[in-house]
Chains A and B, each alone.
Chain A
Amino acid sequence: MKTSTRTFAIGDTAAQADYLTNTSEPLGEHMTLNVGPSHPATHGVLRLVLELDGEEVITCDPVVGHLHRGIEKIGETIQYNQFVPYTDRFDYLAPLSNNIAYACAVEKLLGWTLPPRGQALRVLALELSRLASHFLGVGVYAMDTGAMTVFLYTYNEREKIHNFYEQLTGARFTSSYTRVGGQTRDIPEGFCKQVLEFCDQASVSIDEVESLLLKNQIFIDRLQGVGIITREQALSWGLTGANLRASGVQRDLRKVTPYLGYENYEFDIPVGEHGDCYDRFTLRAEEMRQSIRIIRQVIATMPDGPINMVNEKGVLPIKEQAMMNMESLIQQFMATTVGVNAPVGQVYFAAENPKGELGFFLDSKGGGIPNRLRMRSPSFCNLSILPELLKGHMVSDVPAILGSFDFVMGECDR
């Protein structure tokens, strides 16, 4: 076969560009810099349109929605239990927290209270996922400021937590652990002992990471006095989670409106003083220590008993009974086809997630499908302060401030 090569001439567009004629302002003009949506510092697909005067940010216009999947609308078309896998994809760094927050919201609508062992399991899973999320948050933050090594140290620890996820839920990442009225499975044998061993070793590595970064003057200079959020600002922009507490507001939903029996455990709420990046960083490290404290208490006081709701029709029966017993067989059939039958009403439930307050608003007109499902995602609210906060900072501060918020775009854009 005869082949021929054709060459294409690409014109030097630069030569014809009209910028060669100098029409610029004599005192310099502002530059518009488009950071993202795919940029190493934006942790996903956040897009920031910055207006720069030299290195200084004049205005910032965050553009969100690049990861919008219409999850709220999807939630209005499927049964309560079918929505659980979608919750894995909100804050994909702590899927278990989302599963539990959603399940608790639906249970609040139904007026159910889990048996004590089920609640303890959920608290254990919540704190494990908080540890996983904060380990990544701290490590990625170090990487944003140029310290690659810390990121890999913390990722090591996070990897161990993912192994626990696998033992607990059967999946390393998209856990889909909860169902309305319970969990998919109980903890395996020897799980608690492994978790306790991990707790000992994780608290050592938290100290290690802190001493590696917080004794470094370069790192402290990058963080201290950068991105200060005052108490009033934090409250008026609706920040939640570690970002709110770093500004000096002592608000943790685990203490304010205890759920899943959090009132039985002893833990402190660390609070920052200045509300700068340094406070947000140290506060996350301290929260990890508190999480380890809670995990130890949960394992020490782990009650026996059922993990799911008993004698409720929307919950799957025990498999052996379904094979032997006709009522249980019918219950199994109804639970998988119809699901829970929710009463008419509206309910809002908010849980203290690693990223902040994750709230679910459910409007039910009865039946197995919600009429309206609305999320209050902490990352979205936390990011809303960016235009106010980035003003007057340098370009190099942008990744430092973004990293200190520890946001996830999957949750922000839903």
Chain B
Amino acid sequence: MIDSILSFCDSVLSNQYWFFIITLLIKLVICFAITIAFIPISVLIERRVASFIQDRVGPNRVGIPATIFKRFGMKADLPFVKALDYFGLPHDGRIANICRYFRLDKDIPLLGLLQPAVDGGKLFLKQDFTPPFVRRFYFWVAPMLVLAPPLMTAAVIPFAGDLETPYGNINMVVANLSIGPLWIFAISSLSVYGLVLAGWSSNSKFPLIGGIRSSAQMISYEISMGLSIIPLLMIYSELNLSNIVQYQADNGWLLLPFWGEGLTVERWVLLIPIVISFIIFLTSVFAETNRTPFDMSECETDLVGGYHTEYSSMKFAQFFMGEYAAMIVGSSLVITLFLGGWSIGFGIDGWLLDNCGNWISTILQLIFYVLKLAAFAFFFVWVRWTVPRFRYDQVMKLGWLVFFELAVINIFITAAILYFIK
């Protein structure tokens, strides 16, 4: 029986079309699991870090209360002791002590991990109200247009190294396009339609201003974002993100060229334009995701809620999921382009591949990629709760008069370095 199943699997996987489809499905699951699971996790990170910065307690109380043992009485009646009695266990026995060590006598702590889930449940159960004065179709389409583009861009970002199997080589990226960055810019700029449509179709004044602001801001930062990447593409001479990360794994991350063949004079001099690019790119990612120093479109002090003022329930939550998804995809882009993507760095990737085998190294790389993402989510939250917000015209001035010029000049600097220093 088992033999026949194994041989069936073998024959299916040996067929290259089936192999492609099955691995693609698995990669899809992993990729979207990371992106979508990171949305509630980044909500949790947001709340925990914010409360940490602000000297508050934050969401650490969400656990399973021991009062759930209703048959043993309320919390004041020591349900834990009664539960021990019920099972005939001694009060100071080993099991009781182990339970006390994990604070099970008080409640079952879950580190506040349930908070985002409960939040989501609340938003699902709220009344989904569509005001009578809106343009219905666009009002309903807008949240989808905000959420979909970041999820689509996640497809081209590699999340682990190649995996060699007896049936063939698996590339750990959903769509191994040879025009990765171009695809990302093409798709991610579509999310501006969601914001503009939300602002316009709400048929209300605050959302209208929010939508107009966000469209102007996102389009202007798109330009400096795209221009800031050109020096990198000149250095890599490559548009395939998998190859870009592989190059960094071998020769040192772009921002930390400390191992491999990366320690040439050229790489050291190139750090100047790379750092400029990094700063421009990172700031543009903040602007693209509409997060606090740049949240012109929803700044609550003058625009109430900005483009999502008229939204409620899950449609409202979709905007927030879109914001967090954009934040995650943006930070994964920064990681991929500047900080070595999935690579563990310091030459460990090659050593792992030689000594520990392909599977272990791939899994470790996946874990490392997720860790880097979490670190960047922390960074985003940190900035949000520390820095005040710009004024709208200052944002535009910064985008057009500083970053745009700087990015253009940066291209020429990089070209000069690449041409003269060899």
A contact set with B: CB distance below 8 Å: 10-14, 17, 31, 33-35, 39-41, 55, 142-149, 152-153, 156, 212-213, 216, 218-219, 221-222, 394-400
Contact = CB atoms under 8 A, between A and B. Distances in A.
Nearest to B135: A14
Interface stretch (B51-59, B343-351, B413-421): B51-59
B77 to A, nearest CB: 33
Contacts of B296: 396
Interface of B: 50, 53-56, 132-136, 203, 205-206, 209, 292-293, 295-296, 299-304, 385-394
B390 A222 contact: yes
Contacts of B387: 146-147, 216, 218
A152 B55 contact: yes
6 contacts: A12-B136, A39-B304, A145-B301, A153-B54, A216-B387, A218-B394
Contact of A218 (B56, B293, B303, B392): B293
Contact of B54 (A31, A146, A148, A397): A148
A32 to B, nearest CB: 8
Contacts of A145: 301, 388-389
A145 B392 CA distance: 12
B46 to A, nearest CB: 12
Give the interface centre of B54, B292, B302, B304 by most chain A CB atoms within 10 Å.
Answer: B302
A216 B292 CA distance: 14
Given A12-B136, A55-B209, A152-B56, A394 B300 contact: no
Contacts of B292: 146
A149 B304 contact: no
Contact of A149 (B53, B300, B394): B53
A33 B302 CA distance: 11
Given A13-B132, A31-B205, A396 B391 contact: yes
Contacts of B301: 40-41, 143-146, 399
Contacts of A221: 390-391, 394
B400 to A, nearest CB: 16
Nearest to A39: B304
A34 B300 CA distance: 15
A213 B205 CA distance: 31
Contacts of B303: 395
A396 to B, nearest CB: 4
Contact of B388 (A11, A34, A219): A219
A251 B209 CA distance: 41
B136 to A, nearest CB: 6
A396 B56 contact: no
A146 B205 contact: no
Contact of B55 (A12, A153, A219): A153
> What 5 pairs across the A-B complex have the smallest Cβ distances?
A146-B389, A147-B388, A399-B301, A152-B54, A146-B388
B51 to A, nearest CB: 9
Contacts of A31: 205
Contacts of A147: 386-389
Q: Which of A10, A14, A212 has the most CB of B within 10 A?
A: A14
Nearest to B130: A10
Contacts of A146: 292-293, 295, 299, 301, 387-389
A398 B302 contact: yes
A252 to B, nearest CB: 30
Nearest to A33: B205
A394 B393 contact: yes
B349 to A, nearest CB: 39
Contact of A394 (B206, B386, B389, B391): B391
Contacts of A213: 388
Contact of B391 (A33, A152, A397): A397
